[in-house]
Structure 1
Amino acid sequence: MFALLGFAGSTQAATPTTPPTNGTYDRILDAVVARYHLPGIALGVIEHGKVVYIATRGETVAGSGHRITPRTLFKIASNSKAMTTALLGRLVDQGKLHWDDPVTKYLPDFRMYDPWVTKNMRVADLLTHSSGLPEGGGDLMLWPEPNAFTRADIIHGLRYIKPGYSFRSRYEYDNLLYVVAGEVAAAAGGAPYETLMHREVFQPLGLSRCQVGQWSRDAVGDVAEPHARRGDRNVPIDEDGPVIPAITSAPAGGIRCDLDDMLSWARNWLAPTPAQLQWLSAKQRHVLQSPHMLIPVSGQRRDWDDSHIMAYGYGWRMTDVDGTWTVWHTGTLDGMYSELMLLPDQKNGFVFLINGEAESARTVLGEVLLKHFTKPDDARGVAWYADALQRADEQASRRAAAPDTSKATPVAPAALAAWTGRYRDPWLGDLTLCPSGNRVHFAVAKSPRLNGDVMRLGKRDLVHWSKHGMDPDAWLDFHPAQGSQPATLTMAKVDPLGDFSSDYEDLHFTRTGNCP
């Protein structure tokens, strides 16, 4: 205990909150904030293992006057995955777990759709996005929040999700198996995931502000809220209440940290102290950040970064950029974007946290900061990359244009009478598709935000979600009963470029009865 406490203190002292300003980084940051009208951002840069720059802009809540600080908590989303794998690495170091152990050793009820995959799924296979699950498969059990799905529900539901490709054959990003990995850690470590994360990761590394599980917003204080862009304004969405609840998705994307702690976390990987090497061995560090599954290299990465290879480790992505090896990850949730970038050979890196709609801003800021290290003579700045990205996005939208749903009209109950009723999907659960006044309302029992009115566009029906900002809407395709088999309902994204976590295509509802 004394060793842990002493280590935590030294780690915190090593990360300054007010290092000298840097004109180059200031200009990059301010250009991105101005281009994308960000509500708030915190940025830190590490050079040769030392924090050389910290800056913040904007507010925790737009219009509140509460300024972002290096101690402001942000949702780090999928940057949580590297913390989950570090926890597993700790358990491996302690002899409580082995990467090649079958998942069923720790979770006897674990099942995948294919029994052979169930038998051969190792702990390591949970971490590399190569399980056979379709991209984002089952994410509707995690998001939108809040919902009533538990981790036990996810472990049970996995057996019903049909694979999109063969086991270990390719990379398709998923979140559910990181939730399973958290439960493996809990079983091997003898305590809930949240307890283990505090005990094995946050406390020994001195990450004193990082939060997971239930906590008090006001007791912790200085919490950034997510924002959406509405016209020319940033509007808070899904604001926290006084008590932040424990969430099922925590091992995949539910941790919150501030910039100071994220810089301490990054320095632990770039320039570990002897005490940090005791916390996690050099062997396990190498395992976590080594390539385990190849990822296709996009044309944009080839053009911008001269990249030749990209891969996934355990909770980390990695690729070559202008001849420099990088290890990194991003985090994405509604109204919260982040990136952590490491250049381990030079002990350089950066991390930034944003509390607004910022997919393009993250790409541009990350690219310009990265070029500062990998290609310092690159004359292309924020404006060039932002313009290039905008052109690419516009071309992609033209190739897969979403239909204009503004002319969709509500469907009257009489027009849908043949299809109204109660339905059930084996993993998402019960659905009611029933008259509500002069409309037909769609509602998933365990996910209250998955509700909306049925609309008609041309000859097709769709559900328009009631919650503003819920995207994308979904087509509804009804299939008549076949002999003794009841009628069924399948779904698909109205916008083919919509978020992969809206995995409507994996659903298959069977009609179970009439409306109540």
Structure 2
Amino acid sequence: MNIRRSLRASAALLVLCLVPLTGAAGDKPPITLDAAAIDTLFDDTMARYGLPGLAVGVVVDGEVVYQRTAGELRAGEGEAITSRSLFKVASNTKAMTTALLARLVDRGLLAWDDPVVKHLPAFRMHDPWVTREIQVRDLLIHNSGLGPGAGDLMLWPEPNHFTREDVVAGLAHLKPLHSFRSRYAYDNTLYIVAGEVAAAAGGASYEELMEREVFAPLGMSRCEAGAFDRDAVGDVAQPHRRVGGRNLVYREDGATVDTVPMAAAGGVRCSLDDMLVWTRMWLQPGQHGVVDGRPWLSDARRRELWTLHTPMPLGSRMRDWDGSRFYGYGYGWRLNDAHGRLKVSHTGTLSGMYSALTLLPELDAGFVMMTNGSGDGARTVLVQALSDLLVRPGGARPVAWYADVLQRERDEAPPARRAPDTSAREAVSTGDPAIPTGVYRDPWFGDVRLCAHERGVEFASAKSPTLTGLLMRLDDRVFVDWFDDSIGTDAWVEFKVDDGRPRMTMAKVDPEADFSYDFEDLAFERVAPCP
């Protein structure tokens, strides 16, 4: 294990008097940051969750007061993670995309209330009225009426053969679950549209604009939004999953890391050093957000990005842990109150990569964490502990306390929220009359083949080849057992005949699986016999 630390002071105990952005210094008591206590949180999180690597940085008063990395780029191979190592920041990309759009708004190249079709005339939603009315701002605040993660199967699992054009075109076929602008439901696909709006207004590709407008002027020299040569860039963390108590690399980068369709929603990679530059810029724009003597982003745009535009459900854990009374989404940021202080944050999740950025602007403090392992629980625990360290009157609790709460929540989940036991499954036979084999087509996902395989009936997606597996019967239901066991959930399959044509629908076997496995949005029709 390699550990790198940089502390503003050599003493283990750092007493930091944090002053809010508004108000007098006496408005709050001093906050004590104990570097050794952060080390304990770091070490205990690594140990509790068996992470292959972890990077953490804390900023206070515009200075990096804690920075540490541990673990390996690839578990077992000895190449240490450093503060320059690239991680997938996943959905923390969204704040970068909205900042890019804000730069274009500042230049008068677009407006938040522009109709999307003003910039992308061919853009369509399922409802023609929504197509006409949806504005640039609506692409950013998860109020489209689509279900959570609608269309995400065009993005994940990677690699796949979908293009950015496929994703944008597919939105016309995704049926809404709710009325437009009526409620919050997280989506990624509309952020891809937002990236294309930026490209149309800015006169260059999304990737070029990110480099020109965000990374270069701010000095985020190790961030990558587009294709790059893995070995030339170097120091690139690889994703891992936990199998049998070991961390195994999976979905490893090739020699050339290609541009991905979901770049604007979650495709950026950055180092810890770069994410701390990003953090300092947001906390102290007057000092760290000035480029060539001018504000990188106007105050008006900053306020808009951090304005609550869509209310979000406020769960009991947030009420208990943060004492929160409100929760909502801005432009690429989540907003809530934590023990009376504004918290501006986001997380990022991709297979084998987890990140988080939390800002406490009234305290001029924030922190970043990134891991290249299966770190959902680890992220929740460490982020909460670091937040509590800064704002909770009693400070942070031990890692075990937070982890045990999460474990109890899982153990006490009602049966309806648990994945069923599928160990008694049996392969569907090729002659099963209840299974109408053939080629099936969904208007946004494309073709899949349900055809004879040496072990039964195979489900094989044309554009997402990772989604290949065997049909299995469990009691009176049928599901797909994927060959790639890293896929987060198997999928139920149901058939019916309508107007003489077989149709197929799907659903997650594990009801608590990531919403990006949006099998429920698929509606297949049989279009041909098996070849």
Instruction: String of CA shifts for 1:163-203, please: whole Å, max 9, x gaps.
Output: 01111111100000000000000000001100111001000
Q: Which residue of 1 aligns with 2:404?
A: 387
Q: 1:80 aligns with which of 85, 93, 107?
A: 93
Structure 1 residues without counterparts, runs of 5 or longer: 1-15
The count of aligned residue pairs is 499
Q: Which residue of 2 aligns with 1:10?
A: none
Residues 252-267 of structure 1 correspond to what in structure 2 (within 5 A)?
252-267=265-280
TM-score (norm 1): 0.95
Q: Which residue of 2 aligns with 1:292?
A: 309
Read off the aligned partner of 1:451 and give its amino acid letter.
T
Q: Which residue of 2 aligns with 1:7?
A: none
User: CA distance change for structure 1 residues 320 and 18 in 2, over 3 Å: closer, same or farther?
Assistant: closer
* SS of structure 2 residue aligned to 1:415: coil
Read off the aligned partner of 2:515 and give its amino acid letter.
F
User: Are 2:434 and 1:421 aligned?
Assistant: no
Read off the aligned partner of 1:111 and give its amino acid letter.
R
User: Are 2:414 and 1:401 aligned?
Assistant: no
Q: C-alpha separation between the residues in 2 aligned to 1:254 and 1:211?
A: 9
Q: 1:350 aligns with which of 367, 376, 386?
A: 367
Read off the aligned partner of 2:510 and give its amino acid letter.
D
User: Are 2:61 and 1:39 aligned?
Assistant: no
Read off the aligned partner of 1:315 and give its amino acid letter.
G
Contact preservation (8 Å) 2:416, 2:511: no
- State the Cα distance separating 1:437 from its structure 2 match: 2.2
Q: 1:466 aligns with which of 483, 498, 503?
A: 483
Residues 225-244 of structure 1 correspond to what in structure 2 (within 5 A)?
225-244=238-257
Q: Which residue of 2 aligns with 1:134?
A: 147
- State the Cα distance separating 1:401 from its structure 2 match: 2.0
* SS of structure 1 residue aligned to 2:362: coil
Residues 57-456 of structure 1 correspond to what in structure 2 (within 5 A)?
57-272=70-285, 273=287, 275-276=290-291, 278-378=295-395, 380-396=397-413, 398-416=415-433, 418-456=435-473
User: CA distance change for structure 1 residues 417 and 367 in 2, over 3 Å: closer, same or farther?
Assistant: closer
Q: Which residue of 2 aligns with 1:8?
A: none
Moved over 4 A (4+): 16-21
* SS of structure 2 residue aligned to 1:406: coil
- State the Cα distance separating 1:326 from its structure 2 match: 0.4
Structure 2 residues without counterparts, runs of 5 or longer: 13-34
Read off the aligned partner of 2:148 and give its amino acid letter.
E
Q: C-alpha separation between the residues in 1 aligned to 2:78 and 2:397?
A: 34
* SS of structure 1 residue aligned to 2:237: coil
Q: C-alpha separation between the residues in 2 aligned to 1:333 and 1:416?
A: 39
- State the Cα distance separating 1:65 from its structure 2 match: 0.7
Q: Which residue of 2 aligns with 1:515?
A: 530
Contact preservation (8 Å) 1:17, 1:70: no
Contact preservation (8 Å) 1:339, 1:353: yes
Q: C-alpha separation between the residues in 1 aligned to 2:290 and 2:191?
A: 28
Q: C-alpha separation between the residues in 2 aligned to 1:365 and 1:456?
A: 41
- State the Cα distance separating 1:381 from its structure 2 match: 2.0
Contact preservation (8 Å) 2:435, 2:495: no
User: Are 2:34 and 1:55 aligned?
Assistant: no
- State the Cα distance separating 1:160 from its structure 2 match: 0.8
- State the Cα distance separating 1:418 from its structure 2 match: 4.9
Contact preservation (8 Å) 1:410, 1:456: yes
User: CA distance change for structure 1 residues 379 and 88 in 2, over 3 Å: closer, same or farther?
Assistant: closer
Contact preservation (8 Å) 2:167, 2:261: no
Read off the aligned partner of 1:355 and give its amino acid letter.
N
* SS of structure 1 residue aligned to 2:345: strand
Range moving further from structure 2, 81-90 or 18-27:
18-27
Q: Which residue of 1 aligns with 2:505?
A: 490
TM-score (norm 2): 0.92
* SS of structure 2 residue aligned to 1:432: strand
* SS of structure 1 residue aligned to 2:290: helix
* SS of structure 1 residue aligned to 2:102: helix
Range moving further from structure 2, 281-290 or 17-26:
17-26
> RMSD across aligned C-alpha pairs, in angstroms?
1.4
Contact preservation (8 Å) 2:158, 2:251: no
User: CA distance change for structure 1 residues 86 and 379 in 2, over 3 Å: closer, same or farther?
Assistant: closer
Read off the aligned partner of 1:171 and give its amino acid letter.
Y
Q: Which residue of 1 aligns with 2:514?
A: 499
Read off the aligned partner of 2:204 and give its amino acid letter.
A
Range moving further from structure 2, 241-250 or 403-412:
403-412
Q: C-alpha separation between the residues in 2 aligned to 1:170 and 1:50?
A: 39
* SS of structure 1 residue aligned to 2:241: strand
- State the Cα distance separating 1:323 from its structure 2 match: 0.6
